[in-house]
Amino acid sequence: MSSRLASFISSGFGSGYAPQAPGTCGTVAAAVVWIGMSWAGALSSPLTHIAFAVLIILLGMGAIRLSLAGLSAKDPQWIVIDEWAGLFVALIGADSTALWQVLLAVVLFRFFDISKVGPIRVAERLPGAVGIMADDVVAGAFALLGMVAARYVL
């Protein structure tokens, strides 16, 4: 993978270059892509949701590693593929025709990603690309638990 391609992927396919709130912009871009993939039938089961989340995590980890080479910043703001991964985790099993579920997943994920409660903060301390990705995946897992609870109650 070339460094340009790695940077493009790490930036959430360009969404991380937003001048304000790149993490939130990356999350919203991921939600739009997730909805499109879901409506196109690419996310037809929880298993395909999991497969795409794992794909984004693995692809993102490789891209982040290459993007960090030669940078002095530990976690540059423009790297948002980790937000994509976290949101895809949060949306496992969500119904794309129930847009409230997508909105709730975005809100829950951003809450946990920003607040960095408990294990999320611990995951963030891991070195390099692993730490960049891990805190968002854990935040996505927390959001997924909230989504399961919401779908059970509502």
- Render each residue's pLDDT in the chain as its tens digit; 154 residues: 788 999 999 999 999 999 999 999 999 999 999 999 999 999 988 899 999 999 999 999 999 999 998 777 778 899 999 999 999 999 998 988 899 999 999 999 999 999 999 999 999 999 999 999 999 999 999 999 999 999 888 7
Q: What's the pTM?
A: 0.94
Cα atoms in the Cβ-side hemisphere of radius 13 Å centred on 61? 15
In angstroms, the CA 77 to CA 62 distance is: 17
Which of 53, 31, 51, 43 lies closest to 99, judged by CA? Answer: 31
**Neighbouring residues of 89: CB distance < 8 A, sequence distance ≥ 6:** 53, 137, 140, 141, 143, 144
- What is the model's pLDDT at position 90? 97
Q: Report the pLDDT value the prediction gives residue 154, as an integer from 0 to 100.
A: 78
Output the pLDDT for position 2.
Answer: 82
The secondary structure of 8-37, three-state, reads HHHCCCCHHHCCCCHHHHHHHHHHHHHHHH
Q: Of 65, 73, 69, nearest to 130 (Cα)?
A: 65
Distance of alpha carbon 16 from alpha carbon 21, whole angstroms: 9
pLDDT for 24:
96
> Do residues 101 and 36 lie in contact, with contact meaning Cβ atoms separated by under 8 Å?
no
